[in-house]
Amino acid sequence: MSGRVKDTGNTVGRSRGRADTARRRSAVAWVVAGAIPLAFLTVFFAWPVATLIGRGFTTDGALDLSGFAEVFARPRTWRIIRLTLAQALLGTALAVLLGLPGAYVLYRRTFRGRALVRAFVTVPFVLPTVVVGVAFRSLLTEGGPLGFLHLDGTFTAIVLALVFFNYTVVVRTVGGLWERLDPRTEQAARALGAPPWRAFLTVTLPALTPAIVSAASVVFLFCATAFGVVMVLGGTRYGTIETEIWIQTTQFLDLRTAAVLSVVQLVVVGVSLALFSRARARRERALDLQGRPTDEQTAQRLRLWNRRRPGGDLLPTVVTSAVVIVLLALPLGNLLVRSLRTPDGWSLGNYTALGTTGGDNALTVTVWEAAANSLRIAVDATVLAVVMGTLVALVVSRRPRNPLGRRAVWWLDAVFMLPLGVSAVTVGFGFLITLNHPPLDLRSSAVLIPIAQAVVAIPLVVRTVLPVLRAIDPHLREAAGVLGAAPWRVLLTVDGPFLIRSLGLAIGFAFAVSLGEFGATSFLSRPDRPTLPVVIFRLIGRPGPENYGMALAASVVLAVLTATIMGVAERLRREGTGEF
């Protein structure tokens, strides 16, 4: 009898020891998994950016804040800050105002062709900024379809292009939540005597607020750090902190001013990010309360007329149609049409010219060569971003038992959002001043651009994969464990299938971001190996209808390339994947 008891005790002791070892081993594995991307981010993001900031604060190794005083004493600085904030606020407000009816029509109502419109609305977001700039310019320029509005080179044109860009963000973020709101809450309000508009204001809008705030912060972030669009549309009169950093560095060679401006931008971005993360926390809390209504309950048929009177759907439908046709379709259609027009009439001349280096040898390589460059770089950048981003998402999706681990996971999540906010120009500029001398001299290395683009794309990969992993019911992992799966097999058999589903979209995002990346690339690309956006920007800066025509054709090529990749990725997406 006593022997049996002792025996049992031994077994328990031994298995506890084994469990401890296993737990330790798995903890070590997770720490390593987190350390790899963290090291990457430290070397290729934190270090360059920190060095850059250091430039703003020090002169010859001593603390020196005179740079700030000097930069802030210039009226030009204040004008740039004012312009940056004004266009970001206006762009955000307009995007939200127009995006709300869009979210309603596209996510709360069904109609024939909804899937098509939804897909089309996504296109602008993935379009390279340079392409958007070129598209708006060809629309608004003298002699363009909307030339009579005289908006070319105006502040309005920039804001409109920003809204074009970010409309999708609002529609998708808000629509994603709206789709899941139980319509019966609003019906309860209606039954309690609230007319439709009051039910919307008092019940639906408060429920949507977290998503709206979240979308607005992201849009604000994108607008405040807009580069390509402003570079193409703003000319010399309008700029943002972002373009100013570029101008100070490349035109005036004033690295100190550029560094100070980078710090200013970091502050602006930091505040927005803080708001963003708070809004996200609230959003997750708000969603806990919702059940999952069925499609039948949430998506009703679009009804413009109700017993021959204008129905509640009329206004949002009109607004959304106007936005989709005038703001989204017109610039893109116009870009396509114009790319087919040459001085000798309609022809594919602009496209055949892509095999040349442009009028007066505007370029050092042909556009097709640049496109091949872009694709090669995009493959490298995508591999880097997806590997790093997935590691981060896997680590961050864990829920460690001890508070230390939980805090570490929280920090890792927050830290990897930073590149989303720190402007690409700052990253490129930082690379330029840190990675061009020992210990790490990558100046002439072909990996520099892919690394910079990967830094920009990692947050998007994380934000695409993480929600999917977080949505896995922890009980599922526990069930697998109880059924005898070792931790690595749980990861493989439970997380794996979810991960793979979201990976298609993540790859698409990373690829599209890399193809269109202009901010960092414009600093880092070498004249003999430019990417497509760089070439387009150079072409529109050169005189001659031939170069302009080539820029249009190249923009179409780039747009089609990104849209195709996103289209394929989108097909792999499942309902409710990702945040954008």
Partner 1 sequence: MSGLSVAGAVVTYAGTTAVADVDLDVAVGEVVALLGPSGCGKSSLLRAVAGLEPLTAGRVAWDGADLRDVPVHRRGFGLMFQDGQLFAHRDVAGNVAYGLEMARIPAAERRDRVDELLELVGLAGYQRRPVATLSGGEQQRVALARSLAPRPRLLLLDEPLSALDRSLRERLASDLHDILRRAGTTSLYVTHDHDEAFTVADRVAVMRAGELVQLGSPAELWAAPADADVAAFLGYRVVPARDGGRLGLGPQALEVVGVVAGDSVDGAVADDAGGPDDRAAADDAGASAEAPRSAGDGRLTGRVTAVGFSRGRTTVTVDLPDWGEQRAVAAGIAAIGAGDLVRLRLDPAGVVEL
Write out the binding residues for partner 1, residues 284-313 only, by CB under 8 A. Answer: 286, 289, 291, 296, 307
**Phi, psi (5° rounding) for residue 157?**
-60, -40
Among 138-146, 186-194, 256-264, 455-463, the segment contacting partner 1 (CB under 8 A): 186-194
Least Å distance between CB 209 and partner 1?
8
Least Å distance between CB 186 and partner 1?
9
Comparing CA positions, the residue from 542, 554, 129, 549 lying closest to residue 338 is: 549
Least Å distance between CB 202 and partner 1?
7
Rule CB under 8 A: say whether 497 interacts with partner 1.
no
- Lookup: tokens for 297: 């309950």
Q: For residue 329, give every residue at least 6 positions away whose Cβ sits within 8 Å of its Cβ, in sequence order, or none.
A: 120
Least Å distance between CB 285 and partner 1?
9
d(CA 420, CA 540): 28
Tell me whether residue 301 or residue 401 sits nearer to partner 1 (CB atom).
301
Among 189-197, 224-232, 453-461, 517-525, the segment contacting partner 1 (CB under 8 A): 189-197
Tell me whether residue 185 or residue 493 sits nearer to partner 1 (CB atom).
185
Among 8-16, 194-202, 406-414, 541-549, the segment contacting partner 1 (CB under 8 A): 194-202
Q: State how far Cα 428 lies from the chain centre.
A: 17
d(CA 461, CA 506): 5
Q: Using the rule CB under 8 A, which residue among 8, 187, 436, 564 binds partner 1?
A: 187
Q: Which residues pair with 109 in a beta bridge?
A: 300
Among 149-157, 187-195, 430-438, 507-515, the segment contacting partner 1 (CB under 8 A): 187-195
Amino acid in position 103: A
Omega prior to 128 cis, within 30 of 0: no
512 HSE (CA, 13 A, CB side) = 28
Determine how many CB atoms are found less than 10 A away from the CB of residue 153: 17
Comparing CA positions, the residue from 565, 455, 458 lying closest to residue 520 is: 455
Comparing CA positions, the residue from 215, 224, 212, 221 lying closest to residue 418 is: 221
Q: Residue count at the site for partner 1 (CB under 8 A)?
A: 24
Rule CB under 8 A: say whether 184 interacts with partner 1.
yes
Among 15-23, 91-99, 190-198, 474-482, the segment contacting partner 1 (CB under 8 A): 190-198
Rule CB under 8 A: say whether 192 interacts with partner 1.
yes
Amino acid in position 28: V
Rule CB under 8 A: say whether 65 interacts with partner 1.
no
3-state secondary structure of 142: coil
Q: Which residue has the tokens 């977080």?
A: 470
Map residues 196-235 to x or -, x wherever contact with partner 1 holds by CB under 8 A: x-xx--xx--xx----------------------------
Least Å distance between CB 108 and partner 1?
15
Write out the binding residues for partner 1, residues 35-64 only, by CB under 8 A. Answer: none
Rule CB under 8 A: say whether 194 interacts with partner 1.
yes
Which contiguous run of DSSP H or E holds residue 466?
helix 448-470
Positive or negative CA dihedral for 306, 310, 314, 318?
Answer: positive
Tell me whether residue 192 or residue 253 sits nearer to partner 1 (CB atom).
192
- State the residues that interact with partner 1 by CB under 8 A: 182, 184-185, 187-196, 198-199, 202-203, 206-207, 286, 289, 291, 296, 307
